[in-house]
Structures are given as structure tokens and as C-alpha cells.
Structure 1
Amino acid sequence: MWDDGCSSFIKKIGYNDVIRVVHANGRVEEITHSIGAAEFMKSYPKHVLRRPPEDDNGIVPPNAELQKGKIYFLMPVSVGLEKEMRRRRRRRREVERQRVASHDRASFLMSDQYLLEILSEVASHDRDRRRGRVGIWRPHLETISEVSCDL
């Protein structure tokens, strides 16, 4: 939208005591009083405020206070928000896949370890039975019931 020359020019000639909002048609709106993003966007439904590209912070949240001396860009939701939301969804899906994969890997390793332990116990139990030794006792937890006693 704005190349570096234009945004640098606005910054140089501007004062630090106003908030500048650049509209999609190029009109610059200067606001002298402090205002929240949500309050400003009430006048422009289906629009979103973005920070300059060099700030790389993306969309201004509605609960943010607009800062004097800063430049914001007012863009239709379909242009700015759609790209941002797509990027966030993709990032969220990747994180979820990684979390599920690590959880599956951990549960697989635990179940694999448990099976190896059982198999080694069975093998050692058979060996011990031939030698006359007693096997390993494991409680059957499903047969043990817990009773709460209230005093």
C-alpha cells in the first residue's frame, strides 16, 4: 500500500502528538485525542486497523489504545484479516499436529515399554517355574475397592 518513501515522509513531517490513520483510498486522518482501537473502528464496520509493515506486529487488537506518533492503516476485513487469520489457523494446526504427534509418540513408547516388560516377565516366569522359583506377584487393581470413611 505505502512504500517506504511515503511512510518515511509522513513520519518526518508529522508531529508526535497526533495519531494518524491511513485509509484504503490514501486519505490520512489525524486524531489529536487518545482513542481506543474498538472506539475508532465503530465508525468503520468491516474494517481492521493494521500497524505499518516495518513494525511487523500485524492487526491491532480491539482492546488496544492507539498511540500518538504512530501510523495505522485502516483496511477492509477481507484484505487484512483474511490473510492474518489464514496464517494463524495454519500455525495453530501445525502446533496441534506437533502436540498430538509428540503425545502419540510418548504413549506408543510407554505402551511398547509396558509390552516388553510383560513379555520379559512371562519369559522369566516360565524360566523360574522350570527352576522351581516363585513368579512375580502383581495385584489385580480392578478387584480392589476403595471405601471412603467420613469422620
Structure 2
Amino acid sequence: MGNSLRCCLACVLPCGALDVVRIVHLNGQVEEFSCQITAAQILEANPNHVITKPCSNNGTRRIGIVSPDSELKRGNIYFLIPNSSIPEKKKKKKEQKKKQFKPAPKMPTTVDDDNYLRELLSEKRSSHRRRKSVRVAVWRPQLESIMEES
């Protein structure tokens, strides 16, 4: 069922907007980001989740987990699933990678950087800017009645 749902979502979502990153939640909610975004930014907002790529159609059931430091590509659809739905082998591999990964030391911020961030945040607060950068929608099927002849 997972494969058919992913194929269905890929067909239903509008294909004209290839300049956005789509994140599909388990409940059907779709987030669209028109700006560059990393997997870490999505994972910060959704703790205890992982981001996966759509699996291939060659019949094998594989879960391709996106690493937190990777940048999500525009035009692609990604799935946000809870950690509890990952097979144990994947969890062990992920834990080993976390142990090997050493985060880079944080650079001290300057006054210019702080001012720039404040400007960006104030622009995002306006509804026009927010609507332009992120759009959240829930997919609902459009069902039409079929009349039966007597």
C-alpha cells in the first residue's frame, strides 16, 4: 500500500510547480517550500521523525532516509515519517552514523548577521511573504456522483 500511496500522491500533486520542495506528512498534509531548505530544518520542527525519499517502482520495498545535513532538492517529494516506523536495521545504521558525525563548532554571530536575521523574520511575519515561502495543504479527493440508469 505504501508504494501505491506514493505513486498516487506523485500523480495528484500539481506538476507545474517544479520549483518547490514538497514534504508529505503521514496524515496527508503537504508542505511546500519555495526557498532552499535542509532536512535538519524540517526535522527540528518535527522531532522523532525522519525524512524519506520516494522508493523506486522496481518492486523492492526500500526506505531511503535523507541525512539531516543534506539539502532538499526542488521539484522532489519527500515523506515525513515517525522514527517508530523505521525497520531496526535502519535505526542501527542511523545511530552509528550519529556517533561518527561530529558537529562543527558554531561560529559566533556578528551584529550584522543579527540585523539581517531580524529583517528576514519581520518580512516573514507579513502574510504575503509567508504565503509565498510556505504553503500547507491537505489533500482531499474530488468525488463526483455517478448516476445509474434504471
Q: TM-score, normalised by structure 2?
A: 0.51
Describe how 1:1-151 pairs up with structure 2 within 5 A: 1=2, 2-10=5-13, 13-54=15-56, 58-80=64-86, 82=88, 84-85=90-91, 88=93
Matches of 2:69 and 2:8 in 1, distance apart? Answer: 31
Q: Does the residue aligned with 2:32 lie in a helix, a strand or coil?
A: strand
Matches of 2:39 and 2:65 in 1, distance apart? Answer: 11
Query: Which residue number in structure 1 is paired with residue 133 of structure 2?
Result: none
Which structure's residues are more often strand, by fraction?
2
How far has the Cα of 1:26 moved from its partner?
A: 0.7
- Confirm or deny: 8 A CA contact 2:6 2:54 kept in the other structure: no
- Confirm or deny: 8 A CA contact 2:43 2:49 kept in the other structure: yes
Matches of 1:40 and 1:3 in 2, distance apart? Answer: 20
When residues 29 and 80 of structure 1 are mapped into structure 2, their CA distance, relative to the original with a 3 A threshold, is same
- Per-residue CA deviation, residues 98-143 of structure 1 (Å, 9 max, x unaligned), is xxxxxxxxxxxxxxxxxxxxxxxxxxxxxxxxxxxxxxxxxxxxxx
Matches of 2:84 and 2:77 in 1, distance apart? Answer: 21
How far has the Cα of 1:84 moved from its partner?
A: 2.2
Which structure's residues are more often helix, by fraction?
1
Q: Which has the larger radius of gyration?
A: 1
Matches of 1:72 and 1:15 in 2, distance apart? Answer: 15
What residue ranges of structure 1 are gaps of 5+ in the alignment? 90-151
CA RMSD of aligned residues (A): 2.4
Matches of 2:17 and 2:89 in 1, distance apart? Answer: 32
Percent of counterpart pairs with the same letter? 38
How far has the Cα of 1:7 moved from its partner?
A: 1.8
Q: TM-score, normalised by structure 1?
A: 0.50
- Higher relative contact order by CA 8 Å / sep ≥ 6: 1 or 2? 2
What residue ranges of structure 2 are gaps of 5+ in the alignment? 95-150
